[in-house]
Amino acid sequence: MLSVPPKVSDFGFHVNTVSEQLHEGRSEILGRLFCDKALTSQQRRLRRDLGRRYSRLRRQASFTCPKCGGRRFIRKGRRWRLYHSMIGKTRLPIVQVQCQGCGARFCPYKDRIGLAYDQRISSGLKERQLSITCQVPYRMAQRCVHQCLGVSCSAATIRKHLDQAAEKIRQLHVGAAGQVVYQDSTKVKAGAKERGVPVHLAITAQPTGAVSGRNQIHKRLLFLQTGSGSEVKEGLKSLGAEAIVHDGDMDLAGCAPKLQRCLWHLPYQLQHFLWLDGMAWERRKHYIKELTRVLYKSSTTKKMEKRYEQFMKKLKGQNLKRSFIHLKRAQKELSTSRRYRFAYHTTSPAEREMREINRRTDIGVRWSIPGVENLLLVKTWYRLNQPER
């Protein structure tokens, strides 16, 4: 993208010129204030612990020597620590003391002011790095951070921070006691298999009214993981949900007291089973339309169940065995959402998140399984559970 050079004004001042100069020098300008604040706060605390400089009175400090446990120290200058934050790279001073007992030198306040060895990057910068990485590749996120914030951070470091964030999210206990859970899955190109691996998602969803004429849904992520169906079932059981709306790809008996088959997936999947039964497409589409009318146009639950039963008999009478078995398995989970007045009769709230997952992962590369799971977990968690980020 071509950048337009700032206009030169004969007035001697132009907002574009000054704003660019301030942006380029923000790290130096704000860094000095940052450095002075860090040094002043440490010196003030050191004066309380050791007394005034050059004073003959010696006090016992509030901290101890990490080597001998002594409490009497003398000042020994300072060290400098490079710190990455939203204002760029800053060299911050850390006061240093020397133990009068063993002679060991150390920085007593570095952990307390947030400058421990593994805390060289601010939490705000990490959050913004993760927010960008959830939308674009790692190297592009690296370039965005460098261009917008003036901070150089390798793609490998961003990946490490994302993995750490995913692990923290997994440690959080998320339950759905007494709620309706919407479960769905999609495939992403990851691992050794040609078609990739399935990513399983479970959320809660409640309508929250309309904003600017569009209906809004409040969603909450419960879990997101790759792996086998048994692991997904264990995860669903641990939620303690009152009901689960699912697409029928797995048998979820025992995962919740109430189960509902997605009313959109049912006729959509029937296409495949009619094809397995040898039916031509021109005939298949009429059966699909008929089943859709049964599910959506029936005025009462009893009428829907009765018409559904008649439709199954029709398939059985025409020797469409696979299609009949497909509908028979879903019969017990057909009208749960109507009886108990669920907010949604389909998995459409979860289906929207599936499209978001596909958008991020279908980029022409093959992912590692842990890598894609960590990325999607952090992305979906920020999107649903912390949308203000």
Write down the pLDDT at residue 88: 79
List Cβ neighbours of 267 (8 Å cut-off, separation of 6 or more): 288, 291, 292, 295
Q: Are 352 and 104 in contact (CB under 8 A)?
A: no
CB atoms within 10 A of CB 310: 10
Q: For residue 11, is pLDDT > 80? A: no
Q: Hey, what are 364's tokens?
A: 């022409």
Helix (H) / strand (E) element for 140: namely helix 138-149
Rounded to an integer, the average pLDDT of 367-372 is 93
Query: Above pLDDT 70, what percent of the chain?
Result: 95
Report in angstroms the alpha-carbon separations of 329 from 5, 13, 142. 68, 76, 50
Could you give the CA distance from residue 204 to residue 239 in angstroms, rounded to a whole number? 11
Query: Above pLDDT 90, what percent of the chain?
Result: 49
Helix (H) / strand (E) element for 222: namely strand 214-226
Map tokens 């490998």 to a residue.
156
Rounded to an integer, the average pLDDT of 48-55 is 82
CB atoms within 10 A of CB 123: 10
Could you give the CA distance from residue 175 to residue 130 in angstroms, rounded to a whole number? 25
Could you give the CA distance from residue 69 to residue 82 in angstroms, rounded to a whole number? 29
pLDDT tens-place string over residues 139-189: 888 888 887 777 778 888 889 989 999 999 999 888 888 999 999 999 999
Rounded to an integer, the average pLDDT of 339-360 is 92
For the full predicted model, state whether its pTM sits above 0.75.
yes
Could you give the CA distance from residue 40 to residue 137 in angstroms, rounded to a whole number? 41
Pairing between β-strand 73-85 and β-strand 88-99 as defined by DSSP bridges? antiparallel
Give residue 5's pLDDT band: very low, low, confident or very high (50, 70, 90): low
What mean pLDDT is reported for the chain? 88
Map tokens 């146009």 to a residue.
297
Rounded to an integer, the average pLDDT of 292-305 is 93
Report in angstroms the alpha-carbon separations of 46 from 40, 95, 107, 322. 10, 8, 11, 80
pLDDT tens-place string over residues 77-89: 898 988 888 887 8
User: Which residue from 238, 254, 260 is spatially nearest to 183, judged by alpha carbons?
Assistant: 260
Could you give the CA distance from residue 59 to residue 57 in angstroms, rounded to a whole number? 7
